[in-house]
């Protein structure tokens, strides 16, 4: 077992982890935060997406021991107390989910995506300047599968938030 200490949603937490434990299982099993979901455990669905030091990753593909000292944001940490983040609100009002299982990952992905755009990070569909548009969103959200097929509403929710002053 190996000690790790990390910041999760603004709180410092410490745990002893098995070297084989993924960041996802650290969150779900050891830290009692099952909000992040496991859809495949193989980096193929995005349900486990969390934000680590400002960048989204598939937490199932990353070993917990490699995150000592990191700052992690999960779906449980997106709201400000009782008040939902603009993206969370937009997901509800645009019906950007049905079963909701992919939603924690979609939300973390979308939250990080907005920062990627601000930082000017290009994607494969970027043509010149990086701007937020439907095609960029579809491309950048394609690592987050949604079997219920909420894709169009997810795109609309993200667009609606991007239109708001940050």
Partner 1 sequence: MNQQDSRKWIGQPLDRVDGPAKVTGQATYAADYRGNSPAAIGFIVEAGIGKGRIVSIDTRAAEASDGVLLVLTHQNAPEQAPFGSHDDAGRFGQSHAVLENENVKYHGAPVAFVVAETLEQARHAAHLVSVRYDQQPGVFDAEAHEDKATKPDSLDGADQADKEVGHFEPAFEKSAVTVEAEYHTPSQHASAMEPHATVAEWSDGKLTVHMAVQIIADARKGFANTLKIEPGDVRIVSPFIGGGFGSKLGIHNEAILAALAARELDRPVRVAQTRRNLFANGPHRTAHRHRLKLGADADGRLQAVSHDSLAVMSRGYPFAEAAGGLTQSSYAAEAIRMSHRIVEANVPKVDSMRAPGEAIGTLVFESAIDELAERCGIDPIEFRLLNEPETEPGSGKSFSTRPLARCLREGAAKFGWQSGVVRPGMKRDGRWLIGHGVAAAIRPNNIEPAGAEASLARDGRLTLSLDMTDIGTGTYTILGQIAAETLGMDTGAVEVRLGDSDFVETCGSGGSFGAGSTGTAVQQACDSIRTDILARAARIDPDWSGVNSADLTIDGDRVSVGDRSLALGDILDAVGGEAFRAKSHIKPGDAHKTMAQYSYGALFAEVGVDADTAEIRLRRLLGVFDAGRILNHKTAHSQLMGGMIFGIGAGLLEESLMDMRYGAFMNRDLAEYHIAVNRDVPRLEVHMLEGFDEHSNPLGSKGIGELGICGTGPAIANAVYDATGHRARKFPIHIEDVLPAVARLTKGNAASR
Print the binding letters for residues 26-45 with partner 1: x by CB under 8 A, - otherwise. Answer: --xx--xxxxxxxxxxx-xx
Q: How far apart are the first and last CA of the chain?
A: 42
Query: Which partner, ligand FES, partner 1, none, binds residue 144 by CB below 5 to 8 Å per kind?
Result: partner 1
Distance CA 92, CA 65 (A): 35
Report in angstroms the alpha-carbon separations of 32 from 1, 35, 132. Answer: 18, 9, 35
Of 51-59, 65-73, 111-119, 145-153, the window that binds partner 1 (rule: CB under 8 A) is: 145-153
Owner of token pair 């169009």: 152
Instruction: From 25, 92, 31, select the one nearest 62 (Cα to Cα).
Output: 25
From candidates 15, 84, 130, 159, binder to partner 1 by CB under 8 A: 84
Main-chain dihedrals φ then ψ at residue 119, nearest 5 degrees: -75, -5
Of 51-59, 65-73, 87-95, 112-120, the window that binds partner 1 (rule: CB under 8 A) is: 87-95
Tell me the pairing of strands 11-17 and 49-52: unpaired
Q: Which is nearer to partner 1, 91 or 117 (CB)?
A: 91
Residue 159, interface with partner 1 (CB under 8 A)?
no
Distance CA 73, CA 139 (A): 23
Residue 131, interface with partner 1 (CB under 8 A)?
no
Which 8-state DSSP code applies to residue 83? Answer: B
Residue 5 host element (H or E): strand 2-8
Q: Which is nearer to ligand FES, 81 or 149 (CB)?
A: 149
Contact set with ligand FES (CB under 6 A)? 38-41, 43-48, 58, 60, 97-103, 146-148, 150
Please give the residue ranges that form the binding site for partner 1 (CB under 8 A). Answer: 18, 20-21, 25, 28-29, 32-42, 44-45, 47, 74-76, 78-79, 84, 88, 91-93, 95, 97-104, 107, 134, 137-139, 141-155
């Amino acid at each position: 077992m190996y000690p790790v200490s990390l910041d999760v949603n603004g709180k410092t937490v410490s745990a002893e982890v098995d070297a084989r434990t993924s960041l996802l299982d650290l969150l779900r099993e050891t830290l009692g935060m099952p909000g992040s979901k496991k859809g495949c455990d193989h980096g193929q669905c995005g349900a486990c997406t969390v934000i680590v030091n400002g960048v989204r990753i598939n937490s199932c593909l990353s070993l917990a021991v490699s995150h000592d000292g990191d700052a992690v944001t999960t779906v449980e940490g997106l709201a400000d107390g009782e008040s939902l983040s603009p993206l969370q609100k937009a997901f509800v009002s645009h019906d950007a989910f049905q079963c909701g299982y992919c939603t924690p990952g979609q939300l973390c992905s979308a939250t990080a995506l907005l920062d990627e755009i601000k930082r000017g990070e290009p994607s494969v569909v970027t043509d010149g300047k990086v701007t937020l548009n439907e095609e960029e969103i579809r491309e950048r959200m394609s690592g987050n599968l949604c079997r219920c097929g909420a894709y169009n509403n997810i795109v609309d929710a993200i667009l609606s938030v991007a239109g708001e002053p940050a």
